[in-house]
């Protein structure tokens, strides 16, 4: 694994220590498994990843999926729209906001959305552009950052971690330790 820059988060402890637990887990293994199909879950459960992200999970089957993850001592996240950040915070769960940076015009509006939503953690997508925009993001966002999307090679993972991401999220199983 690459050497990482550790940026102290501004709101650690804001959610009953859950953010601290998450950051501690990522300090040991800075990779989250992204699951988009049920058949990927067994590999994630037997891996060393401390966190599992569910993309587009079947609503009626979500409970058993989350319980399976928790039974292995891992944390489960369900990705959703930024409008649900307030609802997550009201329920006292970690609120993670995803920023889809598809071009230069997306960054200012994404940063403004963060000011409004006030999540606990930010996920920057696509992760491969993170090294190019990290300085602009860090100038406004003192939160822990996860990067995801198109992170498929060890060099891409390392570049994100070296520039200060606390972890990467990826569906590329070869990057799951």
Angstrom distance (rounded) from CA 136 to CA 166: 17
Angstrom distance (rounded) from CA 19 to CA 88: 13
pLDDT tens digits, one per residue of 72-83: 999 999 876 666
Is 104 in the same domain as 51?
A: no
Residue 141 sits in a domain whose CATH number is 3.20.20.70
The answer to the question of residue 45 being in a domain is yes
The answer to the question of residue 38 being in a domain is yes
The answer to the question of residue 6 being in a domain is no
The answer to the question of residue 175 being in a domain is no
pLDDT tens digits, one per residue of 33-51: 999 888 899 999 999 999 9
The answer to the question of residue 25 being in a domain is yes
Domain range for 143 is 94-167
Is 52 in the same domain as 98?
A: no
pTM of the model: 0.85
How many domains does the structure of the chain reveal?
2
Angstrom distance (rounded) from CA 119 to CA 14: 10
Domain finish residue from 79, 105, 125? 79
Average pLDDT of span 60-75: 90
């Amino acid at each position: 694994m690459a050497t990482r820059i550790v940026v102290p988060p501004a709101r650690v402890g804001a959610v009953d220590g859950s953010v601290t637990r998450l950051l501690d887990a990522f300090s040991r293994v800075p990779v989250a498994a992204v699951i988009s199909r049920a058949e990927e879950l067994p590999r994630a459960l037997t891996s060393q990843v401390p966190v599992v992200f569910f993309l587009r999970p079947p609503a009626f089957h979500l409970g058993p999926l989350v319980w399976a993850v928790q039974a292995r001592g891992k944390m489960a996240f369900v990705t959703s729209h930024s409008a649900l950040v307030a609802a997550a915070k009201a329920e006292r769960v970690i609120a993670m906001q995803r920023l889809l940076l598809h071009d230069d015009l997306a960054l200012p509006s994404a940063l403004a959305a963060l000011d409004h939503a006030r999540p606990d953690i930010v996920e920057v997508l696509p992760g491969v552009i993170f090294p190019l925009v990290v300085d602009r993001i860090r100038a406004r966002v003192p939160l822990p950052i996860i990067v995801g999307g198109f992170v498929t090679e060890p060099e891409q993972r390392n570049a994100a971690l070296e520039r200060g991401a606390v972890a990467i999220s990826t569906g590329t199983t070869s990057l799951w330790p």
